[in-house]
A = this chain, B = another copy of it.
């Protein structure tokens, strides 16, 4: 299923190398001011350009097809399209036979019967995070008063951002790639979002984050460190304004407690590397050596903070 949410519902469609990709939003409240310019800032944050990101350029201009009238949402389904202009699909040949390590080529081939299916370089693509960012822009409008701030706090194992450019340069020189950690906080969250069972706010956020390609872990508040603490140290005492510290990351019993939501998301290094890798050649039934060409980010994690924010906003828009 390609839809997320119960009330604020987000459906993503399109393929990396088709003519258009898009998003259909259902459950958008009526009366929100919304125009195509509103998407620019967040879309720019996802765009490549910084060192370590792909040279593939897209205009990434949203076209609002439905659900907006006279500059305001109507409450009817809101469809937004993006053209794919800069495709070079020959870059993706032959991965059915010789799957790229770290990619879905192999599982897609098995799942969909080794048909000549473009999903490997198609519906799986990181390009589909663009409509996610667009959905996030609408979700943030719904969540007037909440403030989303995600940023990369660790790259290639270093939390010292002054080292990052040289780490990237070194990895790039080796035809290799790097990962990173994104920290997100959401301020202004009302008390009471989330459910005690199944749909805890952490469950829903984790669900959304793990649908971003390349995520390997998520932790809230003290996170994995909490498991080494004592209760007296990890518990957040209540004061007159709510929790006095935020070891929980903003929720108790699955329900927001008024403190900022705080969580960290671990991104793997980019899977596509030009450095030769071993893989199995299914056509010839032998081990083979693969060097992934094409235009790829050395560290795609750099482009993800706005995607993390969008996913958080999508989840919270569904809960409010």
In chain A, positions 209-232 with a C-beta closer than 8 Å to chain B are: 209-211, 213, 215-224, 226-232
**In this complex, which of A20, A124, A232, A248 has the most chain B Cβ atoms within 10 angstroms of its Cβ?**
A232
Complex formed: what's the CA distance from A191 to B246 in Å? 40
Contacting pair B21 A66 (CB below 8 A): yes
Contacting pair A211 B216 (CB below 8 A): no
- Nearest CB of B to A123, in Å: 4
Q: Is A294 part of the contact surface with B, judged by Cβ < 8 Å?
A: no
Q: Is A42 part of the contact surface with B, judged by Cβ < 8 Å?
A: no
Contacting pair A255 B76 (CB below 8 A): no
Contacting pair A179 B229 (CB below 8 A): yes
Q: Is A185 part of the contact surface with B, judged by Cβ < 8 Å?
A: no
Contact of A235 among B13, B14, B102, B238 (CB under 8 A): B102
Contacting pair B211 A107 (CB below 8 A): no
Count this chain's copies in the assembly.
Answer: 4
Contact of A273 among B30, B220, B231, B255 (CB under 8 A): B231
Q: Is A6 part of the contact surface with B, judged by Cβ < 8 Å?
A: yes
Contacting pair B222 A220 (CB below 8 A): no
Contacting pair B69 A117 (CB below 8 A): yes
Contacting pair A253 B108 (CB below 8 A): yes
Contact of A249 among B196, B216, B232, B279 (CB under 8 A): B216
On A, residues with C-beta under 8 Å from B are 1-4, 6, 9, 11-15, 18-22, 24, 26-27, 30-31, 65-67, 69-70, 74-79, 81, 99, 101-104, 106-108, 110-113, 115-119, 122-124, 128, 154, 156-157, 171, 174, 176-181, 191-192, 195-200, 202-204, 206-211, 213, 215-224, 226-240, 242, 244, 248-249, 251-257, 266-273, 275, 277-280, 285, 287, 301
